[in-house]
Amino acid sequence: MTGDAGNSDLQRLYHARFSTGLAYRDRIWRALGRYFAPWIPPAGAVLDLGAGYCGFINNVTAREKYAMDFNPSIREQAAAGVTIFAQDCTQPWPLEESALDVIFTSNFLEHLPDKAAIGTVLAHAHRCLKPGGSFLALGPNIRYVPGAYWDFFDHYVPLTDLSMAEALTVRGFDVVRRIPRFLPYTMSDGREYPIWMLRWYLAMPFFWRLFGKQFLIIGQKRS
């Protein structure tokens, strides 16, 4: 989506899908933030790509925190100390080369218009990450949600763990972790499960193979 019309459509989609249960989502991201903490250096610089309601970036510890999203309402969601880039992520990023230690993205790349756009975003990510810096990507794995993948109006690009790993590899990343089944598919069904269940689930990888429908990919920029 581009231009004012696309921006307006995006705002309406976000509002319809995510405007309820924000406090619950924040608790979910607090638990996930603790899980991802080993990959987030407290003295480092972190970008939340496609940050949405800033659940991830608001709940991690880092010296410098950035959030990028095309939806201008991101400014209302970001916590104090988070620098906002309210822009199209395929356009040049306002960061110096090798400025970031970590880029995190969740359920975002499939919303880009095509694979060429994903390639452009990965090129920006590669430029802005330090050598050895990490690109962490969560996303629905179409291998396990072939029909339901298209239940979201703004899903455009079908991805699997293997296609995402390949895209990273050809753009200068070494894939250091690839989990085909990680989290369940969606948190947008209106149900609010106890947070202890998520913490228990994260600690029991056996159950990922039963319930996980999102991949987790971690790529490191080659030195």
Give per-10-residue mean pLDDT for the chain (223 aa). Answer: 50 54 87 95 97 94 96 88 96 98 97 96 98 97 92 92 98 98 79 90 96 97 91
**Cα-to-chain-centroid distance, residue 116:** 18
- Look at residues 191, 209, 197, 186 and name the one whose alpha carbon lies nearest to residue 31: 197
Q: What does the pLDDT read at residue 183?
A: 96
Q: What does the pLDDT read at residue 191?
A: 76
What kind of fold does domain 3-221 have according to CATH? Rossmann fold (3.40.50)
- Residue 19 sits at φ, ψ, to 5 deg, of -75, -15
Q: What does the pLDDT read at residue 223?
A: 81
Q: Do 182 and 140 contact (CB within 8 A), yes or no?
A: no
Instruction: Please give the Cα distance from 125 to 103 (Å, whole number).
Output: 7
H or E segment at 120?
helix 115-128
- Tally of CB atoms within 10 A around 124: 20
H or E segment at 30?
helix 22-36
pTM: 0.89
Instruction: Please give the Cα distance from 192 to 176 (Å, whole number).
Output: 32
Q: What does the pLDDT read at residue 3?
A: 46
Sole residue written with tokens 């659940």: 55
